[in-house]
Amino acid sequence: MTTELRVLDPADWDDWYANLELAFGGLAEAPEERALWRELTECDRSVGAWDGERVVGTAGAFSFRLSVPGGALVPVAGVTMVGVAATHRRRGILTSMMRRQLDDVRAWGEPLAVLTASEPEIYGRFGYGIGAFTAHASIDTTRVRLTAPEGADEVVLRQADPAKAAAACEAVYARLVPGRPGMLARQPGWERLPLLDPPGGREGASPLQCVLAERGGEVVGYARYAIKPEWSYAGADGSVTLRDIGALDPAAEGALWRFLCSIDLVSSVRIRSRPVDDVWQHLVSDVRRCEPTLRDGLHVRLVDVGAALAARRYQAPVDVVFEVADAFCPWNEGRWRLRGGPDGAQCARTDGAADLALSVRELGSAYLGGVSLTSLAAAGRVRETRPGALTEAAVAFGWPVAPWLPHGF
Ligand SMILES: CC(=O)SCCNC(=O)CCNC(=O)[C@H](O)C(C)(C)COP(=O)(O)OP(=O)(O)OC[C@H]1O[C@@H](n2cnc3c(N)ncnc32)[C@H](O)[C@@H]1OP(=O)(O)O
């Protein structure tokens, strides 16, 4: 039995998406969620695998602009909606879609592809490395005290309707994007995602709530969250689940965290998919009672090694030659000389001797500055062939702000 790959015809979207829902277990999404994904699907950048009249495989690629170290917004493919019918799994359909997609991304001139994985094991074989980790936590607010920084008392907090406050929140978000690698500039239509709140997905929690942080009448921060009221025999035992938070300065951010951790009748604040260097860790009296856990966030694939490495800045001067292995995208294979620093970089093919040998996967992990080349070398995944090159490159690739993907896609 052979399958045929075709660019998605918008008229086939329902069948195409139904295959995806089935691959994820068959639960239908809420109508408003489905409608949003239909609107956001870029059909001309999506493929379906067809077995006769039936869609048996799906893969899409959003057109994103990704913040990279130094603040440039680089066009990237946001790989999404990947699914293969259970009846057709492990016959190479995903592999054929990844082949097609990475060829397409290269042709579109986008130097990077990024994704979040349903299972972290799937995408390494296609050259993706984990480029940003993410932190989950649950703050036990009955035991943990939170100290907000100076100036927090002057911040005015105002409860607001999430839809009416959305534009103000978006303005804050937009100002944060260049400063943190991994953030995505909001593309048209995507401003609806943070407001998506289907009643069936609330699991007993309230509708989305929003609080704005203001100074001198100007919005300088926001938090969006839901409260789940619960009662145990001993009394109130509710929880707050944080949806997102953003602030332009420490006082505003501290005021928002303090607010979230002091809501009455609540004994825990659940934090999901936040940056690993998030400020709450430094405001709490007892980080152990916040149960922080780490998981993979953004997976990064350099589709054009030269263009990708030249697009970011480096925190220290660097001049190294990488010997890159890339079996899935052989156009990247070979030696690349990277010269760069805080003001810019260039990266081109070279015949010079290699300083570091690694695969494109390790470059993807190190690219946003959140995974150290030194730790990859310690795991045997980067080999130093010129003494000193590893430290030089590891220092240069690092970045003062941890990379973080603000939302799934
Ligand atoms: C970005 C996103 O959208 S992430 C969402 C991914 N989708 C899902 O998780 C939905 C449920 N799962 C599926 O739909 C499918 O199982 C997929 C898409 C994960 C895999 O599709 P398949 O067509 O079966 O993959 P394919 O046959 O090309 O497998 C290629 C290789 O990956 C391996 N592989 C595939 N899926 C997995 C997995 N879930 N875990 C570990 N290895 C896997 C295969 O064993 C195979 O290895 P090999 O080359 O050593 O033989």
- All domains in the chain, ordered by first residue: 4-110 (3.40.630.30), 146-283 (3.40.630.30), 299-397 (3.30.1050.10)
Task: Give distance in angstroms: CA of 118 to centre of ligand 1.
Answer: 10
Q: Give every CB contact of residue 344 below 8 A, 6+ residues apart in sequence.
A: 313
Nearest CA residue ID for atom 45, ligand 1: 90
Is 269 in contact with 139 (CB distance < 8 Å)? Answer: yes
Residues annotated as catalytic are 123, 409
Task: Give distance in angstroms: CA of 316 to centre of ligand 1.
Answer: 39
Residue from 305, 307, 271 nearest 289 by CA: 271
Q: Which two tokens stand for residue 139?
A: 């703050």
Q: Is 59 helix (H, G, I), strand (E, B) or coil?
A: strand
pLDDT digits (tens, 9 = 90+) for 40-55: 999 999 999 999 999 9
Report the sign of the C-alpha dihedral through residues 332, 334, 361, 367, in that order. Answer: negative
Rounded CA gap, 112 and 305, in Å?
9
Rg (CA), the chain: 23
Which DSSP string corresponds to 347-364? EEE--SPPSEEEEHHHHH
Nearest CA residue ID for atom 11, ligand 1: 23
**pLDDT number for residue 140:** 98
pLDDT digits (tens, 9 = 90+) for 346-362: 999 999 999 999 999 99
**pLDDT number for residue 2:** 86
Quick check: CB of 377 below 6 Å from ligand 1?
no
pLDDT digits (tens, 9 = 90+) for 232-288: 999 999 999 999 999 999 999 999 999 999 999 999 999 999 999 999 999 999 999
**pLDDT number for residue 21:** 97
CA–CA distances in Å: residue 298 to residues 22, 78, 117, 134: 24, 10, 8, 8
**pLDDT number for residue 104:** 98
Of 17, 41, 94, 409, the one to substitute when testing ligand 1's pocket (max ligand atoms within 8 A of C-beta) is 94
**pLDDT number for residue 1:** 62
pLDDT > 70 in the chain, percent = 100
pLDDT digits (tens, 9 = 90+) for 193-223: 999 999 999 999 999 999 999 999 999 999 9
pLDDT digits (tens, 9 = 90+) for 318-334: 999 999 999 999 999 99
pLDDT > 90 in the chain, percent = 99
Quick check: CB of 90 below 6 Å from ligand 1?
yes
Looking at the predicted complex, does its ipTM rise above 0.95?
Answer: yes
Helix axes 31-40, 13-23, angle to 10 degrees: 120
Neighbours of 167 (CB within 10 A): 10
**pLDDT number for residue 391:** 98
Quick check: CB of 24 below 6 Å from ligand 1?
yes
Query: Average pLDDT over the chain, rounded to whole?
Result: 98
